[in-house]
Chains A and B, each alone.
Chain A
Amino acid sequence: MSLLELDQVSLTFGGLKALWELDLHVDEREIVSVIGPNGAGKSTVFNVITGVYRPTAGDIRFAGDSIVGLRPHRITSRGIARTFQSLRLFLNMSVKENVKSATYGHTKASPPESILRLPRARREEREVDALAEQLLAFFGDRLQGYRWDQPAYSLSYANRRRLEIARALATRPQLLLLDEPAAGMNPRETHEVTELIVRLRDELGVAILVIEHDMHVVAGCSERVVALDHGVKIAEGSYEEVANHHAVVEAYLGRDPEALAES
């Protein structure tokens, strides 16, 4: 059984088919990339998985149970976390507070306990603190030390992307959805992201579904690649298979004029 299964999922807005009869699965500890031209429906896939949109048809199962119709915070607490294509950090909070904010869905201390600093609240606070530090440490010296208490808006663009990943991990997911983690990064940073994605899987054991335009990242980390165009899956397989698939080439570059003339 796969960790995540999309079974004939469709999403339509009026006559527009944003997704059409999409089958997609992610196994445990697997890294799958979703590629496709702009407007192909990649981010829409994330939005139906996380409950922002409810699919018009089809079923989405996570760890065997249907998650269709659950509200986003419920889906998160089942074990799916995501980052956003356009960064959505809490810019006025410190780096560490950003990471800790992802634990509020599962802390148990009541307001009086927290205000009076009773034992359970203190213990939880220590645990949350330790978790945040441990996750930030994952990014090497990038998000270390003095930066913890800096407001998030003081971070560079690349570090904001890293922080978003750290924050998503603090929800303790089994499946991590990364929406263009390398967007706006230089080649060196892009290479680091590729390594990071593999490390996240190897060391934390999470499965990862990643949307990415940068083919170095896609080639460097994915075990399987799924190509979408106009909300429909047009190819699936290893990176080489998909990258050379005629439908994918066509979706990105248009039809070969000579072939067009012959047909």
Chain B
Amino acid sequence: MHELLQTTVNGLTTGCLYALIALGYSMVYGILKLLNFAHGDLYMVGAYIGYFVIQWFGGPNAVSIPVPLLLAIMVLLAAVGVGVLGMAIERFAYRPLRDAPRIAPLITALGVSFVLENTVLLLFGGFTRSYSTPTFISFNSGITLDGVRIDSVELMIFGLSFAMMYGLHQLVQRTTLGKSMRAVASDREAAEMLGINVDRTIALTFFIGSAMAGVAGVMSGLAFNQISNTIGFLAGLKAFTAAVVGGIGSIAGSMIGGLLIGLCESFSASYVSSEYTDLIVFGILIATMLLRPTGILGQKALQKV
């Protein structure tokens, strides 16, 4: 029982991170019908931004400012930095191809992914770096419920992820920007004819989606303590799986899909074998594609008359 609960907590933690990345995948797919394969690398860039913020303020052993303030700066800088990077990618790599056949931006996305991975490799080297989180956030901080440990990094991941997902939901449902996003996703040309600034709407979609991936990067750095220029690849694939399982294009679906994939991972690691984790996760991807291609919450695409 204890192990079951602990596994669930661990699964939900990684699940939250996958959900945050999956949301960006899903939003971009929804609005441009583009699978942005560079999205996982944005998460990686976020993790590096967090790492350098720690170094900037004295390094993990001698943090020169209060730790909560440090965390806030890491999250904010990663969100803004990666958000702006995402907007720049859209502006220079995808916008010129907006009316091209869909395969063109897809291949461009793969290219952008290589550019990001190798730029980071050139600038910062290929070795794995560590946040060394335990030196400034004690493992023993946090709460224990019934023998199940939830450390403070995990608490932060839960809190921040749910706050961001709730905020995104409100944004899409209530604000003019969110409604414009839905209109552009539904029919770009019609939206433009109704006075909606399509370029701006798409740019802001990239900003929001990328910022969430950036924040996920920082939090994964804190939780897993290992970052390198290639972490985006697998995280991106898993988040893609989460988006597909939940129903790509659907915001609630990405959240559910992310949590589900996180749980699958931790349960297969605990009860089967950690070597089979990826096999099981991608098996789920294939099963979803075969049995329910629209995902859990996806809608059937309506044919235009």
A residues at B contact (CB < 8 Å)? 50, 52, 71-73, 76-77, 81-82, 84, 86-93, 97, 100-102, 104-107, 109-111, 114-115, 117, 153, 157, 160, 167-168, 170-171
Across the interface, A88 reaches (CB within 8 A) one of B175, B182, B189, namely B189
- How many whole Å from A71's CB to the nearest CB in chain B? 8
Residues on B with C-beta less than 8 A from A160 are: 305
Binary flags per residue of B102-129, CB closer than 8 Å to A gives 1, else 0: 0000000000000000000000000000
A73 to B196, CA, bound (A): 6
Q: Which 5 A-B pairs have the closest CB atoms?
A: A105-B195, A88-B190, A76-B195, A114-B175, A90-B186
Nearest CB of chain A from residue B130's CB, rounded to whole Å: 37
On chain A, the residues within 8 Å of B197 by CB distance are 73, 105
Q: Which of B171, B197, B199 is packed against the most chain A CB atoms within 10 Å?
A: B197
B184-238: which residues lie under 8 A (CB-CB) from chain A? Answer: 186-187, 189-199
> What's the Cα separation between A106 and B175 when bound, in Å?
13
B100 contacts partner chain A, Cβ-Cβ < 8 Å:
no
Chain B positions near chain A (C-beta within 8 angstroms)? 167, 170-171, 174-180, 182-183, 186-187, 189-199, 299, 302, 304-305
Cross-chain contact A111 with B177 (CB below 8 angstroms)? yes
Query: Quick one: given A88-B190, A90-B182, are A104 and B305 in contact (CB under 8 Å)?
Result: no
Given contacts A87-B305, A88-B189, A73 and B175 within 8 Å (CB-CB): no
* Residues of chain B within 8 A of A168, CB atoms compared: 194
CB of B299 within 8 A of CB of A101, answer no
| Interface of B: prevailing SS | helix
Chain A nearest Cβ from B4, distance in angstroms: 37
Q: Shortest distance in angstroms between B43's beta carbon and chain A's nearest beta carbon?
A: 24
| Residues of A close to B180: CB separation below 8 A | 101, 104
Asked if residues A109 and B176 are in contact (CB atoms below 8 Å), the reply is yes
In the complex, residue of chain A having the shortest beta-carbon distance to the beta carbon of B181? A104
**Which residues of chain B have C-beta atoms less than 8 A from A117's C-beta?**
174
- CB <8 Å contact, B175 and A111: yes
Contact B186 A91 (CB under 8 A): yes
Indicate if the CB atoms of B198 and A88 lie closer than 8 Å: no
B189: nearest chain-A partner, CB-CB = A88
Q: How far is the CA of A77 from the CA of B183 in the complex (A)?
A: 17
Q: Provide the bound-state CA to CA distance between A171 and B195, in Å.
A: 7
Contact check: which of B167, B171, B191, B302 meets A101 at CB < 8 Å? B191
Interface centre among B186, B191, B195, B305 (most CB of A within 10 A): B195
Residues of chain A within 8 A (CB-CB) of B194 are 73, 76, 81, 101-102, 104-105, 167-168, 170-171
* Residues of chain A within 8 A of B182, CB atoms compared: 90, 93
Is A91's CB under 8 angstroms from B302's CB? yes
* A122–B192 alpha-carbon span in the complex (Å): 25
- Chain B: CB-nearest residue to A177: B193
B195 to chain A, nearest CB (A): 3
How distant is the Cα of A100 from the Cα of B193 in the complex, in angstroms? 14
Residues of chain B lying within 8 A (CB to CB) of residue A50: 193
Which residues on B sit within 8 Å (CB–CB) of A81? 193-194
Judge whether A115 and B186 touch: CB under 8 Å: no
- Smallest CB gap from B174: residue in A: A114
Shortest Cβ distance from residue B290 to the other chain A in the assembled complex, whole angstroms: 25
User: In the complex, are the beta carbons of B187 and A115 less than 8 A apart?
Assistant: no
B305 touches A86 (CB 8 A): yes
The interface residues of chain B lying within 8 Å CB-to-CB of A107 are: 176
Known: A72-B192, A84-B190, A153-B302. 12 other contacts (CB 8 A): A72-B193, A73-B196, A76-B192, A77-B195, A87-B304, A100-B179, A101-B179, A104-B176, A104-B194, A106-B195, A114-B175, A168-B194
In the complex, which residues of chain B have a beta carbon less than 8 angstroms from the beta carbon of A52?
A: 189
The residue from B175, B187, B196, B304 contacting A105, defined by CB atoms under 8 A apart: B196
Q: Is the CB of A101 within 8 A of B193?
A: no
List the B side residues contacting A171 at CB < 8 Å.
Answer: 194-195
**CA of A71 to CA of B200 in the docked complex: distance in angstroms?**
12
Which residues on the A side are within 8 Å of B299 (C-beta)?
A: 92
Interface centre among A73, A109, A167 (most CB of B within 10 A): A73
B199's nearest neighbour on chain A, judged by CB, is: A71
Closest to B170 in A: A115
For A106, the chain B residues whose CB sits under 8 A away are 195
